[in-house]
Structure 1
Amino acid sequence: MVKVCIIGSGNVAQHLIAAFEAAEATELVQVFARDKSKVAHLVPEEKITSDLKNLVDADLYIISVTDGAIKEVSADLPFSGKCVAHTSGSVSIDVIDGKNRSAVFYPLQTFTKNKPVNFKEIPICIEAMHETDYALLTQAASAISGVVQTIDSSQRKALHVAAVFVCNFVNHLYAIGNDICRENQLDFDLLKPLIAETANKIRLLSPQQAQTGPAARNDTTTIDTHLAFLHDAQRKTLYETLTQSIIQHGKKL
């Protein structure tokens, strides 16, 4: 059984803590949190420490903190020769202090506190500096997820950029759509079935096959009508940019 220690108490850390605490094939031996109250609802008090010097022995230490803090935290670990992984999508494996065996344990999902997720469906992307650690990482990842993928730091960076496009940018477009509805006394809930169907379609079709709308049809009349409706300069620019991107992308196919 893999003994796991989680270092961190933010969104990703809390979801990992819950997943490992529930897993049968691993043992969550300890959680490090500077503020113990942030994780007190997830694990017994005796499993929480706020002092890195009090970390107990584990097979795998997972650092789940902000990207800018990974290097400092890994350098402050009071041991050497252990497998230490971070959970960042954009930070290189090399950021882990060399006194330990560097690794990456990246769950590809958007996490929000108090919003449960099904970890079994979340891809976990792993990378190890030492070939022998892949078995350890795979065992730990497989205990909480049904999708484990080995990728290198360069691929992970590309995946993270892609994730920003399909998640963060798309959610921002939801926010703009919500604002437009509110400004025109419309209920945003009217768009939710459309949002759900758009997401569901790519389970069966490629994004290119699923693309619809005036840009995909090169319907200039509708496009011009929409642009005339948009009085906000930033929204107009965004509409034009995305429209041209869809048109150009269609020409490449």
Structure 2
Amino acid sequence: MDLCLQGKKVLIFGGSKGIGLASAKMFLEEGAYVCLVARDEAKLKTVTQQLAKDFGHERILWYTADCTIEDKVKASFEYVLSNWKTIHTVVSCIGDGHSSSDAISEEAQWQSIWKVNFDSIRFICRAALKWICPDKGSIVFVSSIAGLESIGAPTDYSTAKSAISTFVKNVARKTQPGLRINVIAPGNVLVKGGRWEQRLKESENEVTSLINRTVPMKRFGRPEEIANFILFAASECSSFMTGSTIVVDGGQTTGI
């Protein structure tokens, strides 16, 4: 299957690790140009150097930005446009599920989680609507099944993630016909250095039991498995899909 991504200019927020990095590698394998955006400059330099060895420096850019600040998001778009003149695809893998177990977290915590998990999406989408290629452009947001079902995740995180799907549905109805916007909602994905890896180190038996009880496939997802759907949503293969949320969770939500 030809995804028709050869030569496409792709901007990935949260691209220095996990699902974002896995997606970057796949886009590059398909012949696309990729700019990675994240807060950790040292990490960005390291991963772009590694990618450049395999795919060449001319197809890779990086930019340091805190996406909870709208001006920083705008600057990242301007940086890519100054180098490549156009942007065909925008992907956001930004999110943070670390919060309290309270029914409703304290206000400062709530606002912090909301900024990372929803405001960043709003800022990215606003900039993308202004600067992305209007003809066959694609925006893909990575959310979570925590925004679709009550699975025991923190309330503030789940609420922010649920807002993403509603936001995207509304935006999709009001964009130009050639521009598509969709959401990927993963289940439990094991990422190097991520939350689940940390929990496995702390209590492997408990976590393994949880996965076996709640996930019909009885395992974690891999970043590459989520990236497959990101590329599909970004490609012409999904040309009749917009405003949708695709669940990729090993069957976890099938029984809810």
Could you say which structure has the greater relative contact order, defined with CA pairs below 8 angstroms and 6 or more residues apart? 2
Q: Normalised by the size of structure 2, how large is the TM-score? A: 0.39
TM-score, scaled to structure 1: 0.39
